[in-house]
Amino acid sequence: MLRPIDTVLTSHLVEAVSAAMPSARALFDDLAANTRGSHGISRDPYGRGEQYAYRLVHECATRLELQCTWDAAGNLYITRPGTAANTRAIVIGSHLDSVPNGGNYDGAAGVIAGLALLEAFARVGLRHRCDVSVMAIRCEESSSWFTGEHGGHLGSRMALGLIDPAELDQAVRPDTRRTLGQHIADCGFDPERVRRGPAHLTPARVGKYFELHIEQGPVLEMKALAVGIVDSIRGNSRLRDSRCIGAYNHGGATPQEIRQDAVVATSDLVMRVQRKWEELHAQGKDLVFAFGRLGTDPAVHSLSKVPGETRFSLDIRSGSPEVLTVMRAFVTEHARLIEDERKVRFELDAFTLSEPTVLDTSMVATLRAGCKALGLPVHPMASGGGHDAQEFTRAGIPSAMVFVRNANGSHVPEEAMTMDDFELGTQLLAWAVAAESDA
């Protein structure tokens, strides 16, 4: 059974979370001051930026007299022990790395909310049967830093035993030319233990996983809401590094009708995908896409050349596995059609696939109850971006998420979460964890 949270305990939790906000603000300010570059925040995984964030969070946990442990991959666990032995823990997690030149809140807000929650529990003297741990997760922004064949979300997947050992060697940071395994060892952890297992986190040890994160889109801002309850996470299919090969030629002397223009051919593919989105959107289907990287070769291209090559990526996202299947087939088929029509060749790499994730309905119901108890509007929503919560779900650990309003988008220096909204999100998280901690 859930712990009954009466109005008195709710009021005490609200006051305790409010009292923890100055410490939270100081952590955000310290992170910004010490991991900011000339164009935004860069907390590189297993590098200087992420390492600084871990030292800062560990120091805070030590001041709060919380237990700290590390796993073989370097994930940090900050624990307030429960009163009953052999109970499954509640984990509150998020990541401390960022994308290159990103914002200060993506990821770190969830870890700092967890610390504020544990500080609030101590202030009200809350006793809970199970351990409650804040997990500071490594390398969530894997795709922004590591090339090679890997499945993303490397820190949580290593902790959960979901990683293929080969990924330790295949994932490489181009800026350092070192593999994931080498970076883990450089930071004093044990990639060979990750490789051989067993998993550090299992359903036998962890009963529930909560994650607070800034929203990465404009929905809450548009609706004038401080927080939302995430009930699902879109899946994706991606082409990470594909090419269109045409023929370089003189831009003035080559007749237009015989050109093998890679830019025109690639643009044709882009617009066909756009028109397919319009068709599916009109049918009420969930779909977004981005050709996030698209360009010609700067070593060869010029103002007066017919472009003979493009390189591009394609990120397709949907809450529907069927839509993802349709779009993979559509892109493959239409690339072949354009090849015939425009006398080019597409080299499409293999689509990666991340299935859509439905979060735990019981935990989502607890968050709904928390919104009502705290006087917050209840707004369920899907997440367009991937999160560590989907890996916990894959591992068989029930999971749920809280989104906090963010006005200016994510993965950009302009992220704009307010401390007032963060406080409300942390109140909701604290209420839900308190309710679940005796279940």
pLDDT tier at 18, thresholds 50, 70, 90: very high
Average pLDDT, the chain: 96
CA atoms within 13 A on the CB side of 80: 24
Q: What is the per-residue pLDDT across 141-175, written as a single tens digit (0 to 9) for each?
A: 998 999 998 989 999 999 999 999 999 999 999 99
What pLDDT does 439 receive?
67
What pLDDT does 377 receive?
97
Residue 386 pLDDT greater than 80, yes or no: yes
| Residues of the chain above pLDDT 70, percent | 100
Are 77 and 199 in a shared domain?
A: yes
Alpha-carbon torsion 152, 155, 160, 161, what sign? positive
According to DSSP, residue 147 is labeled: B
Q: Is residue 21 part of a domain?
A: yes
Are 158 and 275 in a shared domain?
A: no
Q: Which of 339, 354, 369 is the last residue of a domain?
A: 354
Q: What angle do CA 290, 294, 296 make, to 5 degrees?
A: 170
Are 317 and 377 in a shared domain?
A: no
**CATH for 179:** 3.40.630.10
Q: Is residue 2 part of a domain?
A: no
Task: Quote the CA–CA distance of 287 and 102 in Å, as a whole number.
Answer: 25
Q: Is residue 88 part of a domain?
A: yes
Q: Is residue 224 part of a domain?
A: yes
Are 68 and 206 in a shared domain?
A: yes
Q: What is the per-residue pLDDT across 248-293, written as a single tens digit (0 to 9) for each?
A: 999 999 999 999 999 999 999 999 999 999 999 999 999 999 999 9
Are 28 and 99 in a shared domain?
A: yes
Q: What is the per-residue pLDDT across 317-371, written as a single tens digit (0 to 9) for each?
A: 998 999 999 999 999 999 999 999 999 999 999 998 888 999 999 999 999 999 9
What pLDDT does 103 receive?
96
Q: What is the per-residue pLDDT across 392-417, written as a single tens digit (0 to 9) for each?
A: 999 999 999 999 999 888 889 999 99
| Mean pLDDT to the nearest integer, 293-322 | 96
Are 305 and 170 in a shared domain?
A: no
Q: Is residue 56 part of a domain?
A: yes
Are 330 and 432 in a shared domain?
A: no
Task: Quote the CA–CA distance of 37 and 101 in Å, as a whole number.
Answer: 7
pLDDT tier at 1, thresholds 50, 70, 90: low
Task: Quote the CA–CA distance of 55 and 64 in Å, as a whole number.
Answer: 14
Task: Quote the CA–CA distance of 336 and 340 in Å, as a whole number.
Answer: 7
What pLDDT does 12 receive?
97
What pLDDT does 360 receive?
97
Alpha-carbon torsion 433, 359, 353, 404, what sign? negative
**CATH for 264:** 3.30.70.360
Can you give the residue range of the structural domain that contains 310?
235-354
Q: Is residue 19 part of a domain?
A: yes
Higher pLDDT, 439 or 303: 303
What pLDDT does 355 receive?
87
Task: Quote the CA–CA distance of 280 and 335 in Å, as a whole number.
Answer: 19
Task: Quote the CA–CA distance of 31 and 193 in Å, as a whole number.
Answer: 30
Q: What is the per-residue pLDDT across 77-105, written as a single tens digit (0 to 9) for each?
A: 999 999 998 899 999 999 999 999 999 99
Candidates 263, 280, 268, 282; CA nearest to 325 is 280
Are 197 and 108 in a shared domain?
A: yes
Are 321 and 390 in a shared domain?
A: no
Structurally, the chain folds into a number of domains equal to: 2
pLDDT tier at 438, thresholds 50, 70, 90: confident
Q: Which of 328, 354, 380 is the last residue of a domain?
A: 354
Per residue in 352-366, is it b (16+ CB within 10 Å) or e — as a string? bebebbebbeebbeb
Are 267 and 360 in a shared domain?
A: no
What pLDDT does 20 receive?
98
Are 397 and 328 in a shared domain?
A: no
Task: Quote the CA–CA distance of 277 and 264 in Å, as a whole number.
Answer: 20
Q: What is the per-residue pLDDT across 167-179, written as a single tens digit (0 to 9) for each?
A: 999 999 999 999 9
Q: Is residue 201 part of a domain?
A: yes
Residue 196 pLDDT greater than 80, yes or no: yes
Q: Which of 332, 354, 376 is the last residue of a domain?
A: 354
What pLDDT does 385 receive?
87
Are 70 and 117 in a shared domain?
A: yes
Q: Is residue 40 part of a domain?
A: yes
